[in-house]
A and B are shown apart, each in its own frame.
Chain A
Amino acid sequence: GEDVEQSLFLSVREGDSSVINCTYTDSSSTYLYWYKQEPGAGLQLLTYIFSNMDMKQDQRLTVLLNKKDKHLSLRIADTQTGDSAIYFCAEKMAGTASKLTFGTGTRLQVTL
């Protein structure tokens, strides 16, 4: 089945690192994505990782993928108030033409 789960809320202090976690159940996923949603806006792609990779780094963002445990994480270094948003992980399964399954979203709150 297709099920992507995330914790609903995370609070961190400005300057600290944030780690947002995601678990998925479909082992045939080809790509896994992180999207960011700011208040009142649509989703924007932050980063993605191909299923044959373990890690991907992009400036302050680090994505870790553990295929054995079906666990994906997004680490944001030096978290800023502008990072406050809802973060969604999403998976694309093999054999699907861009059909994405999204997680429940994690609301990140950055405090001073």
Chain B
Amino acid sequence: NAGVTQTPKFQVLKTGQSMTLQCAQDMNHEYMSWYRQDPGMGLRLIHYSVGAGITDQGEVPNGYNVSRSTTEDFPLRLLSAAPSQTSVYFCASSLGGLGMNTEAFFGQGTRLTVV
């Protein structure tokens, strides 16, 4: 099993450019999410999905779009990159389910710099 795979690992964008961060999992997990990690702020939830065709906003959704056309993939799109979006992005997946203890599995992260 590959687990959660994120690509690319590193990316430099110019302000105003758009790009898509890819996330794929092979564990048949229903729940997937995107976080950004900034120094001293921990992980903040951007968007999440509880299953194919269903997405919802997290704590910091502005400037990002997501879609979930398949169970395996959950891409994160930056519409018009801004320096404030310089961060490390993590994708995570879990089995999900209300009332369940579900371990979240994380990708290795994408380090994005917007200049």
Answer yes or no: are A and B bound together in one complex. Answer: yes
Q: Which 5 interchain pairs have the tightest Cβ spacing?
A: A42-B106, A104-B42, A102-B43, A98-B31, A98-B96
B35 CB-CB contact with A under 8 Å: yes
With A and B bound together, what is the CA distance between A100 and B33 in angstroms? 10
Interface membership of A44, Cβ < 8 A: yes
Given contacts A41-B108, A44-B106, A102-B43, contact A97 B31 (CB under 8 A): yes
B54 → A minimal CB distance (Å): 10
Q: B99 at the A/B interface (Cβ < 8 Å)? A: yes
Distance in angstroms between the alpha carbons of A100 and B35 in the assembled complex:
10
Contacts of B108 in A (CB 8 A): 40-42
Is B98's CB within 8 Å of the partner chain A?
yes
Interface residues of A in 31-88 (CB under 8 A from B): 31, 35, 40-45, 48, 50, 88
> B101 contacts which chain A residues (CB < 8 A)?
31, 48, 50
| Chain A count of residues within 8 A CB distance of the other chain | 27
Q: Does B53 contact A (CB under 8 A)?
A: no
Known: A8-B40, A98-B95. A41 touches B109 (CB 8 A): yes
16 contacts between A and B (CB under 8 A): A4-B42, A42-B90, A43-B43, A44-B106, A45-B104, A88-B42, A97-B98, A98-B31, A98-B94, A98-B95, A98-B96, A98-B100, A98-B102, A100-B33, A102-B44, A104-B42
In the complex, which residues of chain B have a beta carbon less than 8 angstroms from the beta carbon of A50? 101
Bound: A1/B86 CA distance, A: 27
Query: Min CB distance, A107 to chain B, in Å?
Result: 10
Contact B42 A102 (CB under 8 A): yes
User: Could you mark each residue 64-99 of chain B with 1 if its beta carbon is under 8 Å from any beta carbon of chain A, else 0?
Assistant: 000000000000000000000000001010111111
A8 to B39, CA, bound (A): 10
Answer whether residue B21 sits at the interface, using C-beta atoms and an 8 A cutoff. no
Min CB gap A22→B, angstroms = 11
The verdict on A42 contacting B48 (CB below 8 Å), with A30-B99, A50-B101, A102-B43 known, is no
